[in-house]
Amino acid sequence: MRRATAGLAFAAALLLAGCTGTSQQRVPEPFGTLPPTSVLKDALILSAVKATLTADDPDSTTTLRVSASDGVVTLRGTVRDAATRARLASAARGVAGVKSVVDDLTINPHQPQVKQQVADVALEARIEAAVAAQVGLQHISVHVEHGVATLAGTVPDAKTRATVMATARGTSGIRNVVDRIRVAGP
């Protein structure tokens, strides 16, 4: 009986050893999964393209979206003119590892440049600070686009409204002021 048990144990060990053999067969990857090296290559290409585009046109950092998949770079967003569009697509094609470029860029000649956007935000802050210094904190929002300030909200009286408007108009760098302020009281 001991011999039979020992033989049975030996057979089971051989069977298990056969099941855990070193087979070269790979388990298939789930649908849509990319090998790590492909993901790394795309990440490196993406970084290089973004760096190239930023060096070529700093405004592109705020207006473009760039993606890369298997060496194919896609450019989306808006640019100011056709020359910029062609220059950015050409710069992306020149990056090592890029197989092709899909150009989904649109042209908007009225799109503000980063310098203009920064100037507008600075004007907003200056108007808000000047208004707060004149009449205190109010329920007013200030939005500046291309040097044109739009003021909206509610103030307690007409005198406060006049002071707010005069303060905004007196801020250097403002081209025009749009009044959307309501007076809450008489």
Given this model, what pLDDT does residue 19 score? Answer: 47
Q: Residue 97, class by beta-carbon neighbours within 10 Å (0-12 exposed, 13-18 middle, 19+ buried)?
A: middle
Q: Please tell me whether residues 43 and 69 are part of one structural domain.
A: yes
What values do phi and psi take at 144, rounded to 5?
A: -120, 130
Q: Please tell me whether residues 66 and 97 are part of one structural domain.
A: yes
In a domain? residue 67: yes
Band of the pLDDT at 76, cuts 50, 70, 90?
Answer: very high
Given this model, what pLDDT does residue 30 score? Answer: 53
- What's the rounded mean pLDDT across residues 75-104? 91
Determine the 3-state secondary structure of 109 from DSSP: coil
In a domain? residue 129: yes
- Domain boundary residue, one of 58, 92, 107: 107
The set of residues, in sequence order, having a beta carbon less than 8 Å from that of 144 and lying 6+ positions away, is 120, 121, 123, 124, 127, 150, 174
- Domain boundary residue, one of 75, 107, 139: 107
User: In this predicted model, what pLDDT tens digit does every residue of 17-74 receive, in sequence order?
Assistant: 444 444 455 555 555 565 667 778 888 888 889 888 888 887 777 778 899 988 999 9
Q: Please tell me whether residues 99 and 156 are part of one structural domain.
A: no
Domain count of the fold of the chain? 2
Q: What percent of the chain has pLDDT over 70?
A: 77
Rounded distance, CA 145 to CA 159, Å?
26
Q: Please tell me whether residues 82 and 133 are part of one structural domain.
A: no
- Domain boundary residue, one of 59, 89, 107: 107
Q: Please tell me whether residues 119 and 101 are part of one structural domain.
A: no
In a domain? residue 162: yes
CATH code: domain of residue 98: 3.30.1340.30
**What range defines the domain where residue 103 resides?**
36-107
Weakest mean pLDDT among 24-38, 85-99, 149-163: 24-38
The set of residues, in sequence order, having a beta carbon less than 8 Å from that of 59 and lying 6+ positions away, is 80, 113, 114
- Look at 63 and 9; give whichever has higher pLDDT: 63
Q: Please tell me whether residues 132 and 100 are part of one structural domain.
A: no
Given this model, what pLDDT does residue 176 score? Answer: 92
Spatial CA neighbour of 69 closest among 93, 28, 100, 96: 100
What values do phi and psi take at 86, rounded to 5?
A: -65, -40
Length of the chain: 186
Spatial CA neighbour of 152 closest among 165, 169, 163: 165
Q: Residue 145, class by beta-carbon neighbours within 10 Å (0-12 exposed, 13-18 middle, 19+ buried)?
A: middle
Give yes or no for residue 93 having a pLDDT over 90.
yes
- The token duo for 78 is 């808006």
In a domain? residue 70: yes
Q: Please tell me whether residues 150 and 167 are part of one structural domain.
A: yes
Q: Please tell me whether residues 77 and 99 are part of one structural domain.
A: yes
Q: Read off the pTM.
A: 0.49
Band of the pLDDT at 177, cuts 50, 70, 90?
Answer: very high
